[in-house]
C-alpha cells in the first residue's frame, strides 16, 4: 500500500479549486494521470524494480520509427487517449494498456469469465472526489463573491452568484432576461465578472495552448492535425504551430464553439496523439454573426 493522499490533494484537488477560483474550467483527470498514475505511481513502481506499469485506460501504445507513440483505443466510444496527452515518450516506454485493443463489452465478458466483481460494476464518469454539485464542493473551500454580468461592450446586465457557478458556453442559470438566449463568453476572475452574449459569439477562430507536450516529434513548421477540445468533441481540422516556451498556436479550419480556457486541446494525426496542452485565451472569430 502506498499513501498518495498528499500528492492527490496538492496536485489534483488544490489545482481543481485554484482553476475555478481563477475563472478557468479544470480537467482533473488529466492532472491525475500526469501527477499520480504516471508520475508518483510509475516512479514508485520503477523504484521497486518494476519494468512497467499497467493500467486499464482505453488507449494503445504503438511503435513508430523505433519510438513509442500514443494511439486511440480500439473502442472509439471509450477511447481515453484525450486524457493521456501529458505522457512523455520516456514514460510511455514503461507503460502498458492491456485493454486498449478491446471493446468495453469484451472486457466485461472476460471479467465475467474470471469471476471478477468489476464485471457488473456500473460505469461512472463523475469526478471521483466530488459527491454532488461542483459548486457545493467549491463553496466548502472558498466563499464565492457575487459580481457583474456584462455584455461584450461592458454594459451591466445583472449580477452573478460567484464565478465558480459558470463556465464558457453555459446558457442556464445566468439570472438575466433580455429576450433571446445568452451564453457565457468569458470569465474575468480579476474583475469578478461574467461576459455573456449571443450564441454565434462563442465561436473562436483558434486559441493559444500552454504546457504543451509533444509525443510525436515537435513540428518545425505549421502542421495539419485534428484537434479535440473536450473528451466527447469529435475533433476539428486545424493547423498547429509550435511556439517557444511549451506553447502552441492552433488555427481551426472552421471556427469552433466554446473553446474553454483550462480544458485540454489534444492534437491527433492519423489516430496517433501528436501532442496536447492546456487551452489559454481563445482567438475570436472576426466575422462572428
Q: What is the pLDDT of residue 140?
A: 86
> Has residue 181 got a pLDDT over 50?
yes
Per-residue pLDDT at 92 exceeds 60:
yes
Model confidence at 110: pLDDT above 90: yes
Upper half-sphere CA count for residue 255 (Cβ side, 13 Å): 17
Strand partners for 72: 59
Reduced to 3 states (helix: H, G, I; strand: E, B; else coil), residue 228 is strand
pLDDT at 289 over 60: no
Dihedral (CA of 133, 76, 202, 20) sign = positive
- Count of helix runs (H) and strand runs (E) in the chain: 7, 14
Instruction: Indicate whether 57 pLDDT > 50.
Output: yes
Q: Is residue 121's pLDDT more than 80?
A: yes
Closest CA to 10 of 162, 144, 164, 129: 129
Kindly state the average pLDDT of the residues 12-38.
95
Catalogue the active-site residues: 32, 128
As a whole number, the mean pLDDT across the chain is 93
Total number of residues shown for the chain: 289
The pLDDT of residue 288: 41
For 215-245, the pLDDT digits (tens) are 999 999 999 999 999 998 999 999 999 999 9
The cell numbers describing 85, all together, are: 496527452
What pLDDT was estimated at residue 287?
41
What is the pLDDT confidence band of residue 284, given thresholds at 50, 70 and 90? low
Higher pLDDT, 135 or 80: 80
- Beta carbons of 242 and 214 less than 8 angstroms apart: yes
For the chain, domains (ranges, CATH) are: 5-120 (3.40.50.620), 144-197 (2.30.30.280), 203-284 (2.40.30.10)
262 in Cβ contact with 280 (< 8 Å): no
Average pLDDT score over residue span 175-195: 93
Asked if pLDDT for residue 158 goes beyond 80, the answer is yes
Confidence category of residue 206, pLDDT binned at 50, 70, 90: very high
Phi, psi (rounded to 5 degrees) for 208: -95, 145
Instruction: Read off the pLDDT band of 283 (50, 70, 90).
Output: confident
pLDDT at 167: 92
132: left (phi over 0), alpha (psi -120 to 50) or beta: left
Residue 285 pLDDT? 56
* CA–CA separation, 210 and 261 (whole Å): 10
Amino acid at each position: 500500500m502506498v499513501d498518495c493522499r498528499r500528492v492527490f490533494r496538492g496536485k489534483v484537488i488544490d489545482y481543481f479549486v485554484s482553476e475555478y477560483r481563477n475563472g478557468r474550467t479544470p480537467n482533473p483527470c488529466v492532472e491525475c494521470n500526469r501527477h499520480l498514475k504516471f508520475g508518483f505511481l510509475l516512479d514508485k513502481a520503477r523504484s521497486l524494480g518494476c519494468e512497467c506499469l499497467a493500467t486499464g485506460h482505453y488507449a494503445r501504445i504503438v511503435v513508430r520509427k523505433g519510438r513509442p507513440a500514443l494511439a486511440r483505443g480500439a473502442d472509439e466510444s471509450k477511447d481515453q487517449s484525450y486524457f493521456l496527452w501529458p505522457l512523455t515518450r520516456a514514460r510511455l516506454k514503461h507503460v502498458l494498456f492491456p485493454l486498449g485493443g478491446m471493446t468495453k463489452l469484451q472486457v466485461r465478458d472476460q471479467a465475467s469469465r474470471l469471476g471478477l466483481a468489476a464485471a457488473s460494476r456500473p460505469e461512472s464518469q463523475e469526478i471521483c472526489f466530488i459527491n454532488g454539485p461542483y459548486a457545493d464542493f467549491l463553496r466548502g473551500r472558498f466563499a464565492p463573491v457575487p459580481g457583474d454580468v456584462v455584455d461584450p461592450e461592458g454594459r451591466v446586465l445583472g449580477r452573478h452568484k460567484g464565478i465558480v457557478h459558470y463556465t464558457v458556453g453555459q446558457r442556464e442559470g445566468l439570472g438575466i432576461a433580455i429576450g433571446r438566449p445568452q451564453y457565457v463568453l468569458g470569465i474575468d476572475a480579476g474583475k469578478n465578472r461574467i461576459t455573456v452574449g449571443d450564441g454565434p459569439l462563442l465561436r473562436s477562430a483558434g486559441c493559444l495552448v500552454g504546457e504543451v507536450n509533444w509525443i510525436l516529434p515537435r513540428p518545425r513548421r505549421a502542421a495539419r492535425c485534428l484537434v479535440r477540445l473536450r473528451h466527447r468533441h469529435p475533433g476539428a481540422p486545424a493547423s498547429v504551430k509550435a511556439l517557444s516556451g511549451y506553447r502552441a498556436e492552433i488555427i481551426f479550419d472552421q471556427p469552433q464553439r466554446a473553446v474553454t480556457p483550462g480544458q485540454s486541446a489534444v492534437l491527433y494525426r492519423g489516430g496517433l496523439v501528436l501532442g496536447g496542452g492546456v487551452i489559454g485565451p481563445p482567438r475570436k472569430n472576426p466575422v462572428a454573426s
